[in-house]
Structure 1
Amino acid sequence: MPKRLFRKIRLKNILEQIKRERKVYVEELASIYNVSTSSIRLDLAELDKLGLISRIYGGAVLPEDSIKEQVNSKPKIEISHPKLEIRSKKNLKEKEAIGKLAASLISDGDTLIIDGGSTTQYLVKHLVNKKGLTVITNSIPQISDLMRIKDSEIYLLGGLIYNDNLVLSGDFAIDSLDKIHVMKAFLGMDGISIDGGLTVANPSASTVVSTKKKMIKSSDMLYILCDSSKIGRTCLMPVAPVNEMDFLVTDNKVRTDFIEQFKTLNINVEIAETDSS
């Protein structure tokens, strides 16, 4: 639609479209009516106030569909958590792209915490040309790649070895983190959602959760690295509210309505482009 419609006409047309399709999205409406997403949100807010529609994340539905939408969109609680060697083989292109992009957000001389995981390991592989880094990690597999960084200081946290992730966690690790403070922390998560927050899946990994929480407290900026399959997912063990996250680094398959939600919370979303072939 090349020309912008007067707002009253646009409101009427949006309402008719919702009645026809029963569900609409902000991005789609902005494109159809050639206006900003902010204008569409104001339109939906007005229709909602009049009781004609019900707003949902990223769009709107008819009032009678609102309860059904809330039930259907309620996140399933995930507890499945395969071992690192299995997870490392999934979504390889996405994790490689995420790791490369995350490395570009690190400057020479930065002080870092890097959590163990199937995505953060790809960040470490792209740090070889950085200089003067100070890196604290709890990941045993990452050490060999970290040692290749020139003029760097690498610290491996002590603690109990958690076999599924090959990370060190527990009281020894937390005691060590108590004594440090860094500029940036790079962590992986099994699930990220607005309602569920930052979560991990394995119910037996309470020491891993405690270590992640301490990593967050020991840093100025929190960067979460995860592929798009984990976004919108809620897992069993909560780590932190979603607004604790300063940056989300993910791939370009992430849904646009999720990006919108995070941006409304002033979370920076960095999108890694992957080869679609």
Structure 2
Amino acid sequence: MKEDRISELENYILEKERASIEELCSVFNVSKNTMRRDINQLELKGKIKKVYGGIILTDKKTTEPFESREVKNKSAKLIIADLASTLIEDGDIVYIDSGTTTMHMIPYLSERKNVTIITNNLHVILNSLPYQNLNIISTGGTLFRRTNSFVDAEAVNSLKKYNISKAFLATTGVSIAKGITNSSSLEYDIKRYIVEHCDKKILLADNTKLEKVSLITYYDLKDIQVFISEQRPEQEYVDFFASNNISLLTPQ
């Protein structure tokens, strides 16, 4: 019951983004002492931050809103999405990550046959509606509006049913030293599960994300199989990819 309550508390904060202790005690029908213990557990996970009289969602401050990220470097994102789509074959079962680059893959898949796309991204789902050839499976979960992605334990649990051949991954920062990083700790669990359980990991990142380190590392750069960008990266990265048997896919 305690685990269920903490999970429900996490979902509640994801939706509300902030709440007072009194409000939470009323909603979950527990004492202040019990609520404070639950809050301490969520704080240890990095999901929330305690403030005077209540709590706030940590990622509200660290994650740039989806709408402002989506318009940045859009031409580069379209080039990358087009390249990424060439790696999807008829009958594939793929995961398309939540991101402002990955979401643009969908229109380039209009000629593929019987492709199954598993995703936690709202825009991937909506963009797929016109294409009858695409089978869409949503992870479910709680919608985190700053990334327009579905997160929480239920989203991760739903993935355990599927055999995913290729994962198209998004990132907010790429570094040889720090790996593949993301600004949202709320998406960590689902990203981590995907990279540990899919057959082929494909990273999509425009050149502005190189040498940037975001809040949390979710995978080592050396362990992906394909890196896609809109232009050839600096020689340091070209050499790194070659030494780790990572395919580099760019227009040039």
Contact 2:185/2:215 (CA < 8 Å) preserved in 1? no
Match of 1:261 in 2: 240
From 192, 202, 205, the equivalent of 1:213 is 192
How big is the shift at 1:234?
A: 1.7
CA distance in 2, matches of 1:180, 1:258: 33
Match of 1:144 in 2: 126
- CA deviations 1:22-73 (Å, max 9, x no partner) are xxxxxxxxxxxxxxxxxxxxxxxxxxxxxxxxxxxxxxxxxxxxxxxxxxxx
Match of 2:137 in 1: 155
Match of 2:250 in 1: 271
> In the alignment, residue 210 of structure 1 is paired with which amino acid?
D
Match of 1:112 in 2: 94
From 235, 238, 250, the equivalent of 2:214 is 235
Pair 1:176 & 2:155 matched: no
CA distance in 2, matches of 1:261, 1:172: 36
Pair 1:129 & 2:111 matched: yes
Contact 2:95/2:166 (CA < 8 Å) preserved in 1? yes
> In the alignment, residue 269 of structure 1 is paired with which amino acid?
L
Match of 2:202 in 1: 223
**1:161–1:232 distance in 2 versus 1, CA, 3 Å:** same
- SS of aligned partner of 2:161: coil
TM-score by length of 1: 0.66
- SS of aligned partner of 2:109: coil
Match of 2:226 in 1: 247
Pair 1:186 & 2:165 matched: no
How big is the shift at 1:144?
A: 2.5
CA distance in 2, matches of 1:261, 1:110: 29
CA distance in 2, matches of 1:188, 1:208: 11
- SS of aligned partner of 2:250: strand
From 75, 78, 92, the equivalent of 1:93 is 75
Contact 1:129/1:150 (CA < 8 Å) preserved in 2? no
Contact 2:167/2:200 (CA < 8 Å) preserved in 1? yes
> In the alignment, residue 153 of structure 2 is paired with which amino acid?
D
CA distance in 1, matches of 2:66, 2:251: 22
Gaps of 5+ in 1: 1-78
Higher gyration radius (CA)? 1
How many percent identity over aligned positions? 27
CA distance in 2, matches of 1:222, 1:253: 19
Taking only aligned residues, the RMSD between alpha carbons, in angstroms, comes to: 1.6
- SS of aligned partner of 2:165: strand
- CA deviations 1:219-268 (Å, max 9, x no partner) are 10001111011112222201011122111111115223212112211111
Equivalent pairs, count: 192
> In the alignment, residue 157 of structure 1 is paired with which amino acid?
T
**1:271–1:131 distance in 2 versus 1, CA, 3 Å:** same
CA distance in 1, matches of 2:62, 2:209: 12
- CA deviations 1:147-200 (Å, max 9, x no partner) are 333333210111111111100011011100122121100010111111101111
Contact 1:180/1:218 (CA < 8 Å) preserved in 2? no
> In the alignment, residue 185 of structure 2 is paired with which amino acid?
S
How big is the shift at 1:129?
A: 1.7
Question: Which stretches of structure 1, 4 residues or more, deviate above 4 A after TM superposition?
Answer: none
**1:247–1:253 distance in 2 versus 1, CA, 3 Å:** closer
Gaps of 5+ in 2: 1-60
Contact 1:135/1:153 (CA < 8 Å) preserved in 2? yes
